[in-house]
Amino acid sequence: METILEIKDVKKRFGAKEILKGINLSVMEGEIISVLGPSGCGKSTLLNIIAGILPLDGGEVSIHQSIVSAPGKMVPTEKRNINMVFQDFALWPHMKARDNILYGLKVKKLPKNEMENRLNEVVSLLHLEGLLDQFPSELSGGQQQRVAIARALVTKPDIVLLDEPLCNLDIQLRIEMRTEMAQLFHSLRTTVFHVTHDPSEAFAMADRIVVMNRGKIDQMDVPSVCYMEPKTCMVAGLLGAGNCLKKASTISDSGRFCKVKVGETELMGLGFVTENRTDQNTQLRFRPEECTWQRENGDNTIPVSVVMSTFEGGVYRVKVETEQGEDFCMLHSQFLADGEKGYVRIPEERLYVYSEA
Ligand SMILES: Nc1ncnc2c1ncn2[C@@H]1O[C@H](COP(=O)(O)OP(=O)(O)OP(=O)(O)O)[C@@H](O)[C@H]1O
DSSP assignments along 214-240, one per residue: TTEEEEEE-HHHHHHS-SSHHHHHHTT
Has residue 175 got a pLDDT over 80? Answer: yes
CA distance 207 to 175: 17
Range 3-228 has CATH code 3.40.50.300: yes
Q: Which atom of ligand 1 is nearest to the CA of 46?
A: 18
Residue 79 CB contacts under 8 Å (≥ 6 apart), including other chains: none
Q: Which atom of ligand 1 is nearest to the CA of 41?
A: 21
Has residue 170 got a pLDDT over 90? Answer: no
Has residue 87 got a pLDDT over 80? Answer: no
Distance 45 CA to ligand 1 centre (A): 6
Has residue 222 got a pLDDT over 90? Answer: yes
Give 235-289 pLDDT, tens digit per residue.
999 999 999 999 988 877 767 888 899 999 999 999 886 555 555 678 999 999 9
Q: Which atom of ligand 1 is nearest to the CA of 15?
A: 4
Q: How far is CA 65 from the centre of its chain?
A: 26
Compute the average pLDDT of residues 65-80: 93
Q: Output the pLDDT for position 229.
A: 95
Q: Is the CB of 192 under 6 A from ligand 1?
A: no
Nearest to 230, CA basis, from 201, 262, 199: 199
Give 291-337 pLDDT, tens digit per residue.
999 999 999 999 999 999 999 999 999 999 999 999 999 999 999 99
Which of 21-35, 82-96, 295-309 has the lowest average pLDDT? 82-96
Has residue 134 got a pLDDT over 60? Answer: yes
Element (H, E) at 44: helix 43-51
Compute the average pLDDT of residues 118-130: 84
Has residue 182 got a pLDDT over 90? Answer: no
For residue 65, give the DSSP letter. Answer: T
Residue 356 CB contacts under 8 Å (≥ 6 apart), including other chains: 232, 233, 274, 276, 277, 278, 281, 283
CATH number of 241-355: 2.40.50.140
232 touches 272 (CB < 8 A): yes
- Range picked from 48-57, 108-117, 253-262 for highest mean pLDDT: 48-57
Pocket residue to mutate for ligand 1, from 11, 12, 14, most atoms within 8 A of Cβ: 14
Q: Output the pLDDT for position 168.
A: 73
Distance 186 CA to ligand 1 centre (A): 30
The mean predicted confidence, pLDDT, of the chain is: 90
Amino acid found at 331: L
Compute the average pLDDT of residues 344-354: 95
For residue 283, give the DSSP letter. Answer: E
What are the residue boundaries of the structural domains of the chain, listed by start? 3-228, 241-355
Q: Which strands form 327-332's sheet, in the order they lie side by side?
A: 292-294, 341-345, 301-311, 316-322, 327-332
Q: Is the CB of 178 under 6 A from ligand 1?
A: no
